[in-house]
Every structure is written in structure tokens, then in C-alpha cells.
Amino acid sequence: MAYVAVKGGEQAIAAAHAWRAEARRGDPAVSKLEPAQIEGQLGRAVERVMAEGSLYDRGLAALAIAQAEGDLIEAAFLLRAYRTTLPRFGVSLPLDTTAMAIQRRISAVFKDLPGGQVLGPTTDYTHRLIDFALPAQDLPPAAPMAEPDPAPMPRVADLLAAEGLIRPDPADAGEPADLTRAPPALPLPRAARLQGLARGDEGFLLGMGYSTQRGYGGSHPFAGEIRMGAVSVEIIPDELGFAIDIGDVVLTECQMVNQFHGTKTEPARFTTGYGLAFGQADRRAMSMALVDRALQAGDLGEDVTAPAQDAEFVLSHADNIEATGFVEHLKLPHYVDFQSEIEAVRRLHAQARAHAEAEAAE
Amino acid sequence: MNGYNFAYLDEQTKRMIRRAILKAIAIPGHQVPFASREMPLPYGWGTGGIQVTASILGSHDVLKVIDQGADDTTNAVSIRRFFARTAGVRTTTRTEDATVIQTRHRIPETTLTARQILVYQVPQPEPLYRLEPSRAEGRRMHGLAEYGAMHVKLYEDIARYGQVAISYDYPVMVNHRYLTSPSPIPAFDNPKLHRMPALQLFGAGREKRIYAIPPYTDVRSLDFEDHPFRPHRAQAACALCGARGSYLDEVIIDDRGGRMFVCSDTDYCAGRRAAGHVGTEGAAA
């Protein structure tokens, strides 16, 4: 048999990509899925892709989801690879989430509180029954509307802090850390950890957060508050010297209130975990808050024993773009290394055989 | 390519990477952290090597890209196309003609020269990670040149198997100071690292590290006096060109145990055939 060299990689790649494009379109008899439909009707997917892609652009995220055929990690990857080519022209002022245009605000630690409990558009308390009538339904019945409550809605953590019951977060001076512009230096400051978590894989955050509830680094969490709504983003351009509003982003913020710490001389105070996510993303924000709290174990003098408390472990493995790339690179050819392994195993076999023969001869 | 800078990365990023490269050259074998960018190719598929190549590439360079020693493997084709598209540089498969060679898992058989740069794609820059998974702790061990754990690992291999059982990514000491991963090249290639006239740059994108072996630097594969390092290859000749000194790939040719061996370095093999060397299965080119 003559050896047929594996040639023509270039044509094979082009043909494979053409096939993928054809498969993406699906049945031509069914109308094409428009990014606008994805943006409007698959909002949760768009928001997850924006979070993991680290870029707030609903239209671009919708396009990425269409291009990735609904593979959300692939879509986030597309968004990241685009984001990396954009210049970073400034840093926003800290977002003021107390001034959020609230759509949803719930607290699990107080029955009622200033501003009240606002359920907002939620799937909580729905029965998870497949709605067979949904395909036939065009417009749902109009949802009842209420007048927005003009009363301010202070954050629960701030209410507790005013009483001195919460351990204050040390103020972070200067420009915040940016993992995408500087290599992470261990141990990471909390700002960098939060950035890593904010763009981490939702499934990973969920699993890590869940593990703390099952005894691996538990911290007795209460959902102090979850709020969702639009927040304005302000920057101070160098040429102006004062803050201007450059637009709104919709965010979900979660503040967990956790077990208290104190000493003989220092009164006990609750600790907190913080979660922030683009769009409406209770699961993501809550998971992040649990993990953020777990990662403070070292700073708070707790024993670091569980995976979720190990900042190096959590932050090195939370990024699904890094993870998927490295896991999937195993399908690249490795035959050079495998060949060296085969030769090593054969050498060991030959050595064992020679050994056995020598023993038999004795 | 329209809308993108020469070789994809913006100039500020290239400057940042070049600084890391200079530092890496100044401290041979030491891993320099750098602010690795998200690339349009996946992590683990050569993002570190691509960033290094993008930062050193000029418009007059001639680029060769190999994976497993071959120019025509799919990922090598993809990366070569990436630079042909974003930098418009000339590309080649001939080792002698290239000024920059990006590689995954091999060092070309043809001896490289002082006017060439070899860029390695590195999945795991930390040679100690199997012994000490914490990179913070690993960094401390490098600082103190505390490499006893690796010698113990080699010793344990010898005690258990009668020989060192590492066949690729075989750890080396660079310039008598830093324990370094040569990337997953077969141990067969390790001797080529030693005093190579070409500059060797190593890029690990996901792990955000760059390191270097400057030209003519001493590189010693870790061993013991009574168990010296020995590179291995398949005991065969290339079926196409008859080479007996090159690294060989094994090709299974039927389901009855039939196999043949061919050069992993496709350019080297083609060059030999062009010069009239013929193996048992090859026709003269």
C-alpha cells in the first residue's frame, strides 16, 4: 500500500466551513432567524453572552448568537475576540445602583422595607409546565401596570451598614484592576476577583456557589437584596473635566449578607458577598455573590479549605473561553507526542521481556 | 485586512508584548507575565505563539507555520492563513527560506540559523505544574531555584521503570538557572535547544506567559550522571525518503498490524526526496 499523505488541509477547512454555514441556515423553507428576533425574544441568552463576552452590546451579542447557532460559549468567544480589538478610552465612574430605575427588587431578609418588594418580570413562582399553546399565541394579554413608586429605594446592605452591622468594604482607590489589560498577579485584589467572576462561566459560578451551600466553605448566606433595572453610566472625559452620561445599562445586583465576624474588642458584624451581572440574571448574580464571599475567607481569617475559597483555583478555571479552548485543543493532532509515548511504552515492554527471559534462563 | 492593524494586534499591544519578549531574552528561561489578549482563535490553539509572531513580524518577513512538524496540518494551515490575511506577509513551507517559524510540538530537522526566529506555541509554561499546581507557589520555587521535586520525580521514574518516563515536554535547565518547559516537543528534539543559533521565543496565551532562549544559550535536559538523558525515536527509516536520523510518525496502514514510518518534518522529507533519497514506499520527487 502506498502512503497517502494527509494533504489538502486548506481545501478541507474551506469545505468544512461551507458545510457549517449551510447547516446554520437550516431548512430554507423555514424563514431565517433574524438577530433582532434573538435580541428581542431570547434576552436571557443575549445577556449571558454579553456577561461572558465582557461587552455590553445587545445587537452584537444577538448577531454572535445567530452566527454561533445558539452555542452561547462560542457566541461569547466571538464577542470577546471583537472586544479585544476595541480601544479602551476611559473608565466609568462607579455605577450608582441606588439610583437604579428599578424593575425588580426583592429582599429575603426583611418582610418589608423602604421602597417595598417589587417582583418585576420574573419566572419565579411559575409552574414549569410546557405551554403547548405558546406557538399559537401571537401577543400575550397585556400585563397590568402600576405607577412607579417615587420613594427612594435604599440598598439593604446600606441600611444595615448605617447601623454598623455590616463590615464595610475597604474603599478601592484609583483605577480598578483590569484582567484583560494586565496579567493577573496572585494573590488578586478583590476588584480583580470580581471582574474575573463577572465574566466567568455561569455554570461554573453556579456549581461553585452551590458547593458553598453544601458544606464546602459555607458562609450562611442570606439574599440581602436582589435588584434589577437600568443604571446610567457616566464618564469624565479628559477634555471636559466633568461627568457626562453616556447611556444606560440594565444590571442585576445581588448582595448576600453572610455570617458575622467579631472579636472581644470588635463587635460582631455581618460579612457580605457581591454579585453583578448584565441584564436580568438572578442566578448569575447570586452565584457570583456566594463565590465572592467564599473568596474572602483568607482576608477574613477563615480557614481556606474548600475549592470555592481558593482564589487561584476558582479564577484560573472560571473563564469558559479559556476552558473551552484548552479542552477542545485536545482534538488537534498530537501524534508527535503520542509517538514518543508509544516508543517509551514499547521500550518498557522490551525491557520487561528481556528481564523475564533472563530470569527464565537462570 | 480591512479594519484591522498590520498582523491583527494594535501597536500598543505589540509594544507591550515586545517589552515582555525583551525581558524574557534578558532572563533566559524565566517566565514573564504578559497581558495576553483575546485572539480570534481559541485558547490552546496557539494564541500565545500567534501573539508573539504578530508582535515580531515585519512586512519583509517570510513566515513558516508547522504543527507536528508538518506544514499541511489543519491548525498550521489556519494560522498561516491568519497571518497571510492580517499581515499580508510572504509564507513558505521551506525551513531555509523562513525568517520566522511558528511551531507546535516540533523543532525542524534542518539546523536553524542566526537570522531565524523560532516561535513555540506553549500550552503549559510552568514545568512544575504537575508537581505543584499552585502557580503562586511555583513562582516561589523558581525564585529560590528549588527544583528538588523535579529531580525526585525523575528518580522515582528510574526506580519504578528503570528509566525516566517522560517522553515529551521533557524539562530542561536554561542557562544553568531556570527550569523550563520546552513545550510538548518530543524529547528527541531537546538536544536541538542547546546553543541553537536562532532566537527561541515561547508564547503561552491562556497562561499569559512569555519566555525565551536567546541564541547560543546552554540548555541541558535534566538527568543524572548514572542515567544520562537519551533522546529516542522509532527504530526505523522513513518509508518515503529513507532518513534514519529524523523523528518519525507512525502510520497505521491496515487492520492487521501493518504500519509504516514517515518523517514528521514534511519539508525535510520533501527536500530529501528532491535530492534523490528514496525510501521503501516512496517515489523520487
With beta carbons under 8 A apart, name residues in chain A contacting B234.
339, 343
B128 pLDDT above the threshold of 60: yes
Find how far residue B89's CA is from the centre of its chain. 22
Interface probe, candidates B31, B67, B73, B74, chain A, greatest A C-beta count within 10 A: B74
Question: Model confidence over B182-215: pLDDT tens digits?
Answer: 999 999 999 999 999 999 999 999 999 999 999 9
A174 pLDDT above the threshold of 90: no
Question: How large is the average pLDDT for residues A163-179?
Answer: 82
Q: Does A339 touch chain B (CB under 8 A)?
A: yes
A207 pLDDT above the threshold of 90: yes
With beta carbons under 8 A apart, name residues in chain A contacting B203.
none
**Active site positions of B, annotated:** 29, 238, 241, 263, 269
Confidence band for A38, pLDDT divided at 50, 70 and 90: very high
pLDDT at A21: 95
With beta carbons under 8 A apart, name residues in chain A contacting B40.
81
Interface probe, candidates B167, B235, B251, chain A, greatest A C-beta count within 10 A: B167
B33, B163, B188: residue with CB nearest A340: B188
A257 in the same domain as A342:
no
A3/B47 CB distance under 8 A:
no
Q: Does A101 touch chain B (CB under 8 A)?
A: no
> A189 exposed, middle or buried (CB, 10 Å; 0-12, 13-18, 19+)?
middle
Confidence band for A311, pLDDT divided at 50, 70 and 90: very high
Question: Model confidence over A119-135: pLDDT tens digits?
Answer: 999 999 888 889 999 99
> Is residue A140 situated within a structural domain?
no
A329/B76 CB distance under 8 A:
no
A306 in the same domain as A232:
yes
Q: Is the ipTM of this complex over 0.90?
A: no
**Could you tell me if B51 and B205 are in contact, meaning their C-beta atoms sit under 8 angstroms apart?**
yes
A336/B168 CB distance under 8 A:
yes
A207 in the same domain as A302:
yes
* B281/chain A closest Cα distance in angstroms: 6
With beta carbons under 8 A apart, name residues in chain B contacting A80.
38
pLDDT at A6: 47
DSSP 8-state code for residue B131: T
Domain span holding position A353: 333-361
Q: Which of A112-116, A286-290, B69-73, B149-153 is the least confident region?
A: A112-116
B23 — phi, psi (to 5°)?
-65, -40
For residue A248, the SS3 value is: strand
Find how far residue A166's CA is from the centre of its chain. 26
Share of chain A above pLDDT 90, in %: 69
B34/A6 CB distance under 8 A:
no
Q: Does A333 touch chain B (CB under 8 A)?
A: yes
With beta carbons under 8 A apart, name residues in chain B contacting A14.
none
Q: Does A237 touch chain B (CB under 8 A)?
A: no
Beta-carbon contacts of A112 under 8 Å, excluding residues fewer than 6 positions away, are none
B35/A181 CB distance under 8 A:
yes
A304 in the same domain as A200:
yes
A307 in the same domain as A216:
yes
Interface probe, candidates A89, A309, A339, chain B, greatest B C-beta count within 10 A: A339
Interface probe, candidates B5, B19, B37, B38, chain A, greatest A C-beta count within 10 A: B38
Count of beta carbons in the 10 Å neighbourhood of residue B275:
10
Question: Model confidence over B242-269: pLDDT tens digits?
Answer: 999 999 999 888 888 888 999 999 999 9
With beta carbons under 8 A apart, name residues in chain B contacting A312.
134-136
Confidence band for A1, pLDDT divided at 50, 70 and 90: very low
> Is residue A145 situated within a structural domain?
no
N-to-C CA span, chain A: 44
Closest-CA residue of chain A to B239: A3
DSSP 8-state code for residue A97: G
A27 in the same domain as A44:
yes
pLDDT at A168: 83
A183/B36 CB distance under 8 A:
yes
> Is residue A135 situated within a structural domain?
no
B206/A333 CB distance under 8 A:
no
Q: Does A86 touch chain B (CB under 8 A)?
A: no
> Is residue A32 situated within a structural domain?
yes
A326 pLDDT above the threshold of 60: yes
Question: Model confidence over A237-278: pLDDT tens digits?
Answer: 989 999 999 999 999 999 999 988 877 777 889 999 999 999
Q: Which of A19-33, A96-110, A178-192, B8-22 is the least confident region?
A: A178-192
A158 in the same domain as A34:
no
Taking one residue from A and the other from B, the number of pairs with CB-CB distance under 8 angstroms is 156
Report angle CA B156, B157, B163 to the nearest 5 degrees: 135
Among the three residues A83, A109, A136, which one is the final residue of a domain in this structure?
Answer: A83
With beta carbons under 8 A apart, name residues in chain A contacting B240.
3
Question: How large is the average pLDDT for residues B109-127?
Answer: 97
Beta-carbon contacts of B246 under 8 Å, excluding residues fewer than 6 positions away, are B109, B233, B238, B263, B264, B265, B268, B269
A10/B161 CB distance under 8 A:
no
Q: Does A4 touch chain B (CB under 8 A)?
A: no
With beta carbons under 8 A apart, name residues in chain B contacting A322.
43, 206
Average pLDDT, chain A: 91
pLDDT at A148: 79
A192 in the same domain as A320:
yes
pLDDT at A152: 84
> Is residue A128 situated within a structural domain?
no
A102 in the same domain as A36:
no
Closest-CA residue of chain B to A344: B167
Question: Model confidence over A277-305: pLDDT tens digits?
Answer: 999 999 999 999 999 999 999 988 899 99
A7 pLDDT above the threshold of 70: no
Give the Cα separation of B65 and B192 in Å (integer): 18
pLDDT at A185: 84
B135, B253, B281: residue with CB nearest A186: B135
> Is residue A200 situated within a structural domain?
yes
Q: Does A354 touch chain B (CB under 8 A)?
A: no
Closest-CA residue of chain B to A311: B134
A189 in the same domain as A75:
no
> Is residue A215 situated within a structural domain?
yes
Cell numbers for B149: 521535586
A285 in the same domain as A213:
yes
Question: Model confidence over B139-170: pLDDT tens digits?
Answer: 999 999 999 999 999 999 999 888 898 999 99
A199 in the same domain as A343:
no
Instruction: Write the Ramachandran bin of B143: left for phi over 0, alpha for psi from -120 to 50, otherwise beta.
Output: alpha
> Is residue A88 situated within a structural domain?
no
How many structural domains is chain A composed of?
3
Give the Cα separation of B112 and B56 in Å (integer): 18
DSSP string spanning B44-86?
TSSHHHHHHHHHH--TT-EEEEEETTBSSSHHHHHHHHHHHHH
Q: Does A8 touch chain B (CB under 8 A)?
A: yes
Among the three residues A54, A83, A112, which one is the final residue of a domain in this structure?
Answer: A83
Count of beta carbons in the 10 Å neighbourhood of residue A362:
5
Average pLDDT, chain B: 94
A325/B165 CB distance under 8 A:
no
A5 pLDDT above the threshold of 50: no
Question: How large is the average pLDDT for residues B62-78?
Answer: 93
